[in-house]
Amino acid sequence: LTSFTDEARIALDTITGRAATMFSPSLRLGVTGLSRAGKTVFITALVHNLIHGGRLPLFEAYKSGRIARSRLEEQPDDAVPRFQYEDHVAALVEARTWPDSTRAISELRLTIEYESASAWSRMFSAGKLSVDIVDYPGEWLLDLPLLAKSFRDFSREAVELSALPVRAELAAEWRKLAAGTDPDATADEMTARRLAEAFANYLKACKHDERALSTLPPGRFLMPGDLDGSPALTFSPLPLKEGAAARPGSLHAMMERRYEAYKTHVIKPFFREHVARLDRQIVLVDALQALNAGPWALADLERALGEILACFRIGRGGFFSDLFAHRIDRILIAATKADHLHHESHDRLQAIVRRIADGAVKRADFTGATVDVLAMAAVRATREGTVRQGREELPVIIGTPLAGERIGDETFDGKTETAVFPGDLPGKAEAVFETAGDVAVENAIRFVRFRPPKLERTAEGITLSLPHIRLDRALQFLLGDRLA
C-alpha cells in the first residue's frame, strides 16, 4: 500500500508540475541588436507602456480590455543580472536623458494577467503569461561561427582580413606587433596581453569607423561583459606558418589554448543557456544610421543581419544542432528611432528594412520561423507640425535637440524646442541601395538627436506613459497569439 501511495504521489506531483507550467505559461523573448541599436530603450518603453496604461490600439488583447494587469515579478534565473528597469525609467522620464545602453546580458520578468478571448480557453487557463525578456548584445551572436573554426583558421582569416585596404590602416598597430612576434617563442604573458589589446583596439576601431565596417568576432573583445581582463579574453590570432604544429610551452600553444577556452567557456554556454532557450526574438537595427552612411553601409547591415539570423537557424543537423533543442518561432526585425522622420516616411523606412531583411534571410538560407519587419520608435521624442515657407506649408518634426547637437551654424543647448525639417526618404526603396561608388546618396537624411520627451498629462492630471510609434504592432506580433 505504501509503495502505491508513493507512486501515486509521484504521479500526482508530475501532473501538478505539468499543470503548473500549463496554467502559468511563460515565454522567453530575446531582445538583441548591435550596440546603440535601441535595445535598452525598447525594453524600457515596452514595460512602461504595459504597466502604465500606454496607448496601444494595435495590441489586440490590450485594446479589447482583456489585459487585467501587467506587473514585474522576480525573474526565474538567479545567475543572470536583472535588467535595471527602474533606473532606465528614471533616466527617461525624470531626467529626460537616454538610459545607459546594454553592455552585457540581463533579464526581466513581466507577468501579464489576461482573459482569454475564447470561452473554451477561459475554462482551462488562469490567463497568466510570464514574459521573460532577455536583453543581450548582438555582438555576442557573431561568435557562433568561431565554434566551427580552429585557431589556425581563425588566425589565417584574421590576418587576411586585416590586410584588406579598408582595414589595413586600422589594424596597423596589431599587424606590426604580430609581424614582429615569433609564434614559436616561449609563451609570455606580457606579449599575449599586448597582442590581445592591439587586436581588440583594431576591432573597436572598425566598429567606430564611419565606413560602417562589418563587426568582426570575438564579440567579447567589443562587449566584454563581466569578462573584461580575464585570460579567456587575453588572446589574439597569430601569423602562423603553414602546417607548423604548436610547440608545447610556446606562445602559439598558449594562444591556441585560450582561444579554445573562449569557445568552451564563453561561446558555448552563452548559446546553450541563453540563445537556445528563446521562444521569440526581436532584432533591432539602426537603419537610419546606415542610410546616412550610404549604400555600402546598407549592404553591410544586410550582411550582419544575415549572420545574426544564421544563429537562429535550426534543425539542419551538423555542428550547432545539439545546442538547439528548442526553436524560435517568430523573429521581428525592427528599425527603431522612426521618430526622426515624418510619418509619411515611416512606410518607406519599413520598405527599406524589408529589403534588407529579405536579403539577409536569403543570405542566411533561413527557414523555420516567421520573420516580420517593422519601422517604429520605442520612444517618440518628437511631434509633427508644419512651418510656413513663402506660400508653402512644410512638414516638420518638433523636439528638443540634445545639448551640443548642431544644424548648420546653430548649436543647441538641450533646453530649447526646435522645429527640424526631417529628411525625406525616396518613394522607391530601391533608390537607397543604388551604389554611386562608396558615396552616400545625395538626399541622405541628416538628423539631430533629441532628448526624450516630456510626458503628457491629461485634463484630469494623469501622466501618460511614454509615447511611441508602432510599439503596439511589435507587441501584437511578439505576444498577441499567446494572449488569444
Q: In the complex with ligand GDP, which residue's Cβ is closer, 175 or 280?
A: 280
39 forms part of the interface with ligand GDP (CB under 6 A): yes
Task: For residue 359, give the nearest of 292, 433, 412, 414 by alpha carbon.
Answer: 433
Closest distance between ligand GDP and the C-beta of residue 456, in Å? 16
- Which of 28, 30, 40, 287 is close enough to bind ligand GDP by CB under 6 A? 40
- Which of 107, 139, 279, 339 is close enough to bind ligand GDP by CB under 6 A? 339
397 forms part of the interface with ligand GDP (CB under 6 A): no
Closest distance between ligand GDP and the C-beta of residue 212, in Å? 16
User: Could you say which residues in the range 420-449 bind ligand GDP, by CB under 6 A?
Assistant: 449
403 forms part of the interface with ligand GDP (CB under 6 A): no
33 forms part of the interface with ligand GDP (CB under 6 A): yes
285 forms part of the interface with ligand GDP (CB under 6 A): no
465 forms part of the interface with ligand GDP (CB under 6 A): no
Q: In the complex with ligand GDP, which residue's Cβ is closer, 136 or 235?
A: 136
Q: In the complex with ligand GDP, which residue's Cβ is closer, 250 or 336?
A: 336
Closest distance between ligand GDP and the C-beta of residue 43, in Å? 8
SS3 sequence of the chain: CHHHHHHHHHHHHHHHHHHHHHHCCEEEEEEECCCCCCHHHHHHHHHHHHHCCCCCCCCHHHHCCCEEEEEEECCCCCCCCECCHHHHHHHHHHHCCCCCCCCCCEEEEEEEEECCCCHHHHHHCCCEEEEEEEECCHHHHCCHHHHHCCHHHHHHHHHHHHCCHHHHCCCHHHHHHHHCCCCCCECCHHHHHHHHHHHHHHHHHHHHCCCCCCCCCCHHHHCCHHHCCCHHHCCCCCCCCCCCCCCCCEHHHHHHHHHHHHHHHHHHHHHHHCHHHCCEEEEEECHHHHHHHCHHHHHHHHHHHHHHHHCCCCCCCCCCHHHCCCCCCEEEEEECCHHHCCHHHHHHHHHHHHHHHHHHHHHCCCCCCEEEEEECECCCCCEEEEEEECCEEEEEEEECECCCCEECCEECCCCCCEEECCCCCCCCHHHHHCCECCECCCCCCCCCCECCCCCCECCCCCECCCCCECHHHHHHHHHHHHHC
Q: In the complex with ligand GDP, which residue's Cβ is closer, 84 or 230?
A: 84
Closest distance between ligand GDP and the C-beta of residue 463, in Å? 19
Q: In the complex with ligand GDP, which residue's Cβ is closer, 38 or 127?
A: 38
User: Could you say which residues in the range 61-120 bind ligand GDP, by CB under 6 A?
Assistant: 98, 101-102
- Which of 379, 448, 474, 475 is close enough to bind ligand GDP by CB under 6 A? 379
219 forms part of the interface with ligand GDP (CB under 6 A): no
Instruction: Give the interface segment with ligand GDP, choosing from 34-42, 48-56, 61-69, 181-189 (CB under 6 A).
Output: 34-42
Instruction: Give the interface segment with ligand GDP, choosing from 118-126, 218-226, 289-297, 374-382 (CB under 6 A).
Output: 374-382
336 forms part of the interface with ligand GDP (CB under 6 A): yes
Q: In the complex with ligand GDP, which residue's Cβ is closer, 98 or 199?
A: 98
405 forms part of the interface with ligand GDP (CB under 6 A): no
The grid coordinates of residue 87 equal: 533606473
CA distance 152 to 190: 22
Instruction: Give the interface segment with ligand GDP, choosing from 123-131, 186-194, 226-234, 376-384 (CB under 6 A).
Output: 376-384
- Which of 56, 297, 381, 475 is close enough to bind ligand GDP by CB under 6 A? 381
- Which of 154, 312, 450, 477 is close enough to bind ligand GDP by CB under 6 A? 450
296 forms part of the interface with ligand GDP (CB under 6 A): no
Contacts to ligand GDP by CB under 6 A:
33, 35-41, 98, 101-102, 336-337, 339, 377-379, 381, 449-450
